[in-house]
Structure formats: structure tokens, C-alpha cells
Chain A
Amino acid sequence: MKPRIVIVGAGHGGIQAAASLREEGFEGDITLLSEDPALPYQKPPLSKGYLQGKQTDEAILFRSANWYTTNQIDLQLGVSATHLDPATHQLTTSAGDTLTYTHLILATGAANRRLPLPGADEVLYLRTLADAQQIGDRLAQAERVAIIGGGFIGLELAAVAVEKGKAVTVIEYQPRLMQRVLPPVISDVFGRTHLQHGVQLRLGVGLQAIQKQGHSHTLTLTDGQSLTADLVVAGIGVIAETGLAASAGLVCEDGIRINEYGQTSVPDIYAIGDCAAHDNPYAGKCLRLESVQNAVDQAKTVVSHLLGNPRPYRAVPWFWTNQYHLKLQMAGISAGFDTYVIRGDEAADKFSVYYFKAGKLLAVDSLNRPADHLNARKLLEAGVTPTEAQITDLIFNLNGVL
């Protein structure tokens, strides 16, 4: 029988898996299920260039419709997987089909965490193209925008909204923006820049209640203050989509547990991307990473393993965000650092922070220093730690230590 690989999910991971299978010469059948009815598209621009109107629907497509046909990828749009039976290798879909696979790749992503508050049913969330279109339409009409959550998504939305002339308030429960992933040396620059652009920041307070009155919402905060807004958007994190895997008995623990080749607890089922909990050598622990890099590189790892060329997943994690003139590129995972060294010009918002733990380079955040970022990925991959003198010497080319 001809082998058949079924991929569930058509985000960065699912698309990369399909593309890599064909590029590496896989000649069996490929079925790609996408719950989203739209031709598969990239999500990172949705909170940035797409909402700004700088990137069109076409510009964010992964591939043209024609690509799926010429590469013989059976793309099923608007179809989700409803039941998985690992014993018989069968997957049932919402279209009523039962697909028999030789291997299955779960690229199911994550779902937005929702506000557990009464009155919050009209709060908008951003994940899909349809979400972005709805937020864009509502934003055009809105004057006062409240954003719940001062993480990447919330702040990218805040920047877009304030640049469109809206009155924007960001409410963040932690005392700093992006506290989970960034130390003050970087997050303070973002905080200051949002303030300079007129965004109101309400830090260290939570949302207690939302009430709708006519076309506007009154938000009551945990410090007793309140504000009104005609558009409320929340970006308060995500929950891994593990439902299908868990109900089929796959081991899940905040994500579908995988090994270094992307295999789940059932060896012919793989998981990649946001939904996959893996031991990450750069984090030194088991975690999920919500990033393009992780989805793409795990897809490549899985395809290599499937086609008999196993290479354990050891890719350097990297992430980015764009807000105003601030372009932040992160390489490695800085959590747990004990010291850092700065390269560049802090006053000009053009510097990189090199984080160390016990004398070893752990991660590098580069703000408007793209060459440092690309170089940092190479340093981290090679496991090379430059000296403080080399880092602070702007004339010194850090490629030289490789």
C-alpha cells in the first residue's frame, strides 16, 4: 500500500512538513487538514503589517492554491480532525471521512486563553485571519480601544491602534510589559515608547469586570478604577490544542509530549509547533515554544526522521516583535540569566543584550541590531561565548570568535 501521511493543521509547522516531505522526495500521499476555511496563511503579520494595511491577503499566503495541486497535497480546508484511533491508524474528520494513515503529524497549534469574566463575551481575540478582519473593521469605527494583556500580541495591536489615531489603554496584570520573556533592560524601552506614542499603560492591575452599555464597555480594574472603551481586545496567552491527542491516549502535559525526533508517546504519531511539549536544550527543560522558528524546525526534524535520516531537534530558538520603530529579535532563551552585557547604543534604541548564566552565553536580545541577532544565532548554535570586551567593542566583528 502507498504510504499516506496525514497532517492536522496548516500553520507554519503543517505547511513546512508538507513542503519538506515533497522536497525530500516523499512520493506517498499527503493529506493536510486545516480547520480554517481560508487558503493557509501566516499568522505573525496579522497583528502587524496586515492590520496596518501594509500586507494584503495575498501577501500573507504561504503558497498559491496551485502549489498544493502541483505538489499533490490533498489540502482540505474547513475540515478538522474529530477522532483519532492510534491502534487502527484511523483519523475521522468533520467532513465525515475516515482517513487511514501510515504516519500522522499533529500541528494543531494553540487556542486563545479567554477572559473568565461575565460580560466578556464581546471581547475580541486575535488568532485567525477572520479574527484580524473583524478587529480591523471594528478598529476603523472605534475611538477608545482597551487591550487586555501587555504581551507581544497586545502590544503589537496597541501600536497599530494608536498609530491609527485611537485612544489606547493597555491593561497588564504584571508590573512590567512582556515580563515573562523580557528583562527590564528591554521591556522598559517598549514601555517608554508606548507612552511616548500616547498609549496609556495600566500595569500591575487586573480586570475585575466588564459591563456593556450601548456601544461601549465599562471595564472595572482591580484597583477600583474604571475606564470605557468601544473596542476591547484581549491577548492573554494561549492553551495548547491537545484535545484530539489526549482523547486518543497520547501523553500530554501542557502540550503533546514529544521526544527529540518529534514522536509522541505513540511512535508513528508526531507533534510539532505550538502544541508540542519538548525537552529544549536551550531552555534546559521541557516546554512549548510558540514561534515560527520552532514550528518550522520541528517540522523539518519530523520529516527527516520519517524519511529515515533522524537528526535530533537542537535548533536555536528565535522570536521577533515589531512595535513602532522598535524591531526586537530574540535568540536563545534568557530565563535564568545571572549577568548581561550590552553592545551598542541604548540611548538610540539600538543595542543588543548578551545574557550569561555561570559564564556561558545563554541568549541575546537585539533591538534594531539585526546583524547582532543573526550572529547570535550562530554563536549559540556553536556554543561559543564571546568575552565582555569583545561584546562591548563595536569595531570587533563577533563572527570572528566562531
Chain B
Amino acid sequence: MPKVTYIETSGKEHLVDLPLGATLMEGAVQNDVKGIVAECGGSCMCATCHVYVDDAFLDRLPDMEEEENEMLDGASAERRANSRLGCQVRISNQLDGLIVRIPDKQ
């Protein structure tokens, strides 16, 4: 299974194995990563699973749909070039080793 490292704002790291097809949001919630709220449960409705992904992986991520793009504009923390909604990024083998940072607020 691909491995993903989540880094909380406190600096605490979680190295977790994620099954193929799971989303970054699901991986965070199931593994008790703090700072991912995911209020709507992965429906791309609330923008509370905002993450910053490692720049080295940007071109390997699934493309961003327009609705995710618009939701990110309304996210609570600063939007950056590497901002994604965790619920919209599904794990593939190409993402093995991905590092994900959690923003300071959701």
C-alpha cells in the first residue's frame, strides 16, 4: 500500500499506509490526524479537509475539478499553489511517499 506522511501544524508526523483508492481525507480521519475536520464526509461541500501537498508530487495528483477549485477559494486557511481538498485526492501508486501538510485552520 502507498505510504503517506501527514504533518500536523504542531509538527507531529503520521506515516500511514493508505489503501489504493482511499482519499487523503479518509486517510487522515481514519488515522486520527489532527486538523482535518471533513465535516461533510467527503462530498466536496465544506472545504474543511484542506491540505498542502508536497510540491514534488504536484504533477502526479489527479486533476482538480472546477468545484474543488471554487471551494478552495473559500477555505479558511490561506490558499497556496499546492492547496487541495483531501477528499478529492485519491491514492494511487504514483503518490507513494507523498507528504501532506495540514493548514492552521479549516
Contact = CB atoms under 8 A, between A and B. Distances in A.
Interface of A: 23, 42, 44-45, 48-49, 55, 58-64, 67, 70-71, 292-293, 296, 320, 322, 327, 329, 368-371, 373-375
A329 B44 CA distance: 11
A375 B74 contact: yes
Q: Is the interface of B mostly helix, strand, loop or mixed?
A: loop
B74 A373 contact: yes
B40 interface: yes
B39 A293 contact: yes
A370 B65 CA distance: 12
B14 to A, nearest CB: 12
A67 B67 contact: no
Given A45-B42, A59-B26, A322-B43, 17 more contacts: A44-B40, A44-B41, A45-B43, A48-B43, A59-B23, A59-B42, A60-B41, A62-B29, A63-B29, A63-B30, A67-B32, A71-B32, A320-B43, A373-B74, A374-B71, A374-B74, A375-B74
Nearest to B32: A67
B41 A292 contact: yes
A151 B47 CA distance: 25
A307 B26 CA distance: 29
Contact size class for B? 20 to 34
Contacts of B23: 59
13 contacts: A45-B43, A60-B41, A62-B29, A64-B31, A71-B32, A320-B43, A320-B45, A322-B43, A368-B67, A370-B71, A371-B74, A374-B71, A374-B74
B80 to A, nearest CB: 17
A229 to B, nearest CB: 29
Contacts of A375: 74
Given A23-B34, A60-B41, A292-B41, A327 B74 contact: no
Best-buried of B32, B47, B73, B75 by chain A (most CB within 10 Å)? B32
Contacts of B45: 320, 327, 329, 370
Contact of A374 (B34, B42, B43, B47): B47
Interface in B3-46: 22-23, 26, 29-32, 34, 39-45
B5 to A, nearest CB: 18
A371 B41 contact: no
A374 B45 CA distance: 9
Interface string B38-59: 0111111101000000000000
A52 to B, nearest CB: 12
A67 B74 contact: no
A281 B59 CA distance: 46
Nearest to A320: B45
B65 to A, nearest CB: 11
B12 to A, nearest CB: 14
Given A44-B40, A373-B74, A61 B67 contact: no
Contacts of A320: 40, 43, 45
Nearest to A375: B74
B41 A45 contact: yes
Given A374-B47, A375-B74, A55 B42 contact: yes
Given A23-B34, A59-B22, A67-B32, A371 B42 contact: no
B43 A44 contact: yes
A397 B30 CA distance: 36
B70 interface: yes
Contacts of B43: 44-45, 48-49, 320, 322
Contacts of B30: 61, 63-64, 67
Contacts of B34: 23
Nearest to A327: B67
> A-B pairs with the 7 shortest C-beta distances?
A374-B74, A371-B70, A42-B41, A64-B30, A370-B70, A370-B71, A371-B73
A296 B39 contact: yes
Nearest to B30: A64
B50 to A, nearest CB: 11
A370 B39 contact: no
